[in-house]
Amino acid sequence: MGDAGDVAGHDPGRCSGDDNLAAAITNGPHTIQADALVIGGGFSGITATHRLRKIGLQAKCFESGADFGGVWYWNSRYPGARVDSEFPFYQLNIPEVYKTWHFSKRFPDHHELRRYFAHIDKTLNLSKDTYFNARVVDATWDKDRGWTIRTQQGQVASAKYLLVCTGLHHRTYTPEFPGLDSYKGEILHPGVGWPKDWTSKGKRIGLIGAGATSVQITQELGKEEDVDLTIFLRRPSYNLPMKQRDIPEEEQIYQKHMYGAILNACRKTPGGFAVTLANPSKATEIPQEDREKHFESLWDTGGLNYLIGNYADTVFDPASNRLVYDYWRRRVCQRLKDPEKQKMMAPATADMPFYFGTRRTPLEHDYYEVLDRPNVHLHDLNNVPVRSFSEHGIVMADGREFLFDAVIFATGFDSFTGALTRMGLKNKNGIDIKDLWSNGVHTYLGLTVSGFPNMFLSYSVHAPTARANGTTLIEAQIETAVDMIAKLESEGATSIEATPEAEEKWKAGIDKANKATLFPCTRSWWDGSNIPGKKVENLAYVAGIADYEAKCRATLEGWKGFVVQK
């Protein structure tokens, strides 16, 4: 697999910004001083740097890549990569940015999103405060100096505050299949620098996994006549119709004066989308004709509306959940005609692999039509698992060998904690967070961690991260953290730290809320079970963004759950 640091189209030697930043990289280590250090240059890092500036603090951002973008720089360059959050919700609520930018699609692709990041940088002049190609490998706290970080490239920086914005999906996961080193064909992982000039033309391709990334790749590669594609899966995804469309510039010009209100309204919703909210009625108590009309309306609207706007008890009641699944299956089987493929990708209700909505629900546009093509094959790993790789392909447990020119590992990420536990992040006693979290994750509010003074997390564990619009949650978290910092500064405080008791209470609340739902019935990256050896636990806050932000902000009055030093 390729090195993610050598992504085509970006100069790995880039160092944008003022002369001091350039000198720090070219002239060897010296200590860079700032009020706050931001690790990561995705939406979280951009928001943090911008908001800290607005309260008059000097912030310096450290990004391991050669440009802004986060997941859209590192991971999402494979064929078909695009966002599942629709226009106009997937953007930052910064007027000077959105007033001068036009999206072309309801669901922008990775090319357009990287152009959007470039526009943000140009508009806000973020590069002058950003070190690119700067991978943080050590972060330590000292009560006199605050936080000090060191990068693999030799920079050293210190500041009072540390904002860790390393993202949800940064550390890729590839299963350790026997014989993988002996395979002589191409090996690709969508999260590791997809080769710019790679072609699928005339190739036999194995695709391992059937999650959101696999869905997007299948839609692109499977429709090519001279490609033979075999998908290896244990469970299908319950995909929803994207209903992609062009967004005319005239429509956006008309709407721009409403963007502020729309994006603020997103903050008042559970999922971060200002669309139809969940129906409070119980699905099982609604007459079938009326229920079907509701299903049809949501389905035809497209996007995530069938998930977001369905009956609220779907996430609690197995009977209601099955009604939602039955309608989903019926609509899918109208398009996926092959009965054997139906059994794997849209099983009968009695065999449904998991409850609807308890894993990520990807969007698609012609996925099921592509699956029906004769050059696209499905292999159920539950029936016949992989024995090993060979020089030319994959050998199954029954001895059958699949020959491939290329194998794509759409096997996901060490999500939530993967980046945090691999950057040398240590608490005030010098203990690495990877050791502190080896037996389970502990945070307070998903924003702070006991033993890590003046440190704030974003797009993190113990927040509504996996079940909400990314930009909405990021702004809710970052703006809360920055407001905390502003309050600390106004009070003349030197540090803030969560108490262990507050962490325990927060985690207990998350566990209790999850237990009341169907989420614990399903294993996925949402609970860490996709990574061998990782503790399986509730990692997400299930009550939604509005409830989450209100609870976070309620702690500012009297600093509930914190110890503040002055």
- Sheet of 146-151: strand order equals 31-33, 156-159, 146-151, 136-142
- Looking at the predicted structure, is the pLDDT value of residue 17 above 60? no
Residue in 207, 65, 230 with CA at minimum distance from that of residue 134: 65
- Looking at the predicted structure, is the pLDDT value of residue 179 above 70? yes
Note the pLDDT of residue 416.
80
What pairs with residue 61 in β-bridges?
38, 130
CA distance 522 to 324: 17
- Looking at the predicted structure, is the pLDDT value of residue 114 above 50? yes
Q: What is the mean pLDDT of the chain?
A: 92
Query: CATH homologous superfamily of domain 18-171+415-565?
Result: FAD/NAD(P)-binding domain (3.50.50.60)
Note the pLDDT of residue 548.
98
Q: Calculate mean pLDDT across residues 214-232.
A: 97
Note the pLDDT of residue 191.
83
CA distance 303 to 287: 25
Half-sphere exposure of 398 (CA within 13 A, CB side): 9
Note the pLDDT of residue 26.
35
- Looking at the predicted structure, is the pLDDT value of residue 8 above 60? no
CA distance 169 to 171: 6
Q: Calculate mean pLDDT across residues 209-216.
A: 96
Residue in 450, 566, 539 with CA at minimum distance from that of residue 501: 450
- The pLDDT > 90 percentage for the chain reads 85
Q: Both ends of the chain: CA-CA distance in Å? A: 50
- Looking at the predicted structure, is the pLDDT value of residue 7 above 80? no
Q: Calculate mean pLDDT across residues 67-94.
A: 94
Note the pLDDT of residue 185.
97
pLDDT one-digit tens code per residue, 368-424 = 999 999 999 999 999 999 999 999 999 999 999 999 999 999 998 888 887 899 899
Helix (H, G, I), strand (E, B) or coil at 395: strand
CB-based contact 471:72 (threshold 8 Å): no
How would residue 3 be classed by pLDDT, with cut points 50, 70 and 90? Answer: very low
pLDDT one-digit tens code per residue, 258-313 = 999 999 999 999 999 999 889 999 999 999 999 999 999 999 999 999 999 999 99
Note the pLDDT of residue 533.
86
Note the pLDDT of residue 503.
98
CA distance 404 to 423: 36
Mode of pairing for the β-strands spanning 401-403 and 393-396: antiparallel
- Looking at the predicted structure, is the pLDDT value of residue 16 above 50? no
Describe the crossing of helices 110-124 and 43-54 by its angle, rounded to 10 degrees.
20
- Sheet of 161-164: strand order equals 130-131, 59-62, 36-39, 161-164, 455-457
Note the pLDDT of residue 526.
85
Note the pLDDT of residue 385.
97
Buried b (16+ CB within 10 A) or exposed e, 497-522: bbeeebbeebbeebeebbeebbbbeb
Note the pLDDT of residue 28.
43
CA distance 213 to 219: 10
> 25-29, 172-176, 436-440: which has the minimum mean pLDDT?
25-29
Note the pLDDT of residue 529.
86
Cis peptide before 88 (omega within 30 of 0): yes
Note the pLDDT of residue 133.
96
- Looking at the predicted structure, is the pLDDT value of residue 137 above 60? yes
pLDDT one-digit tens code per residue, 316-343 = 999 999 999 999 999 999 999 999 999 9
CA distance 154 to 1: 26
Q: Calculate mean pLDDT across residues 513-532.
A: 91
Q: Calculate mean pLDDT across residues 15-23.
A: 38
CB-based contact 61:43 (threshold 8 Å): no
Note the pLDDT of residue 347.
96
- Looking at the predicted structure, is the pLDDT value of residue 140 above 80? yes
**pTM to 2 decimal places:** 0.92
- Looking at the predicted structure, is the pLDDT value of residue 469 above 90? yes
Cβ-Cβ contacts under 8 Å for 527 (sequence gap 6 or more): 519, 520, 536, 537, 538, 539
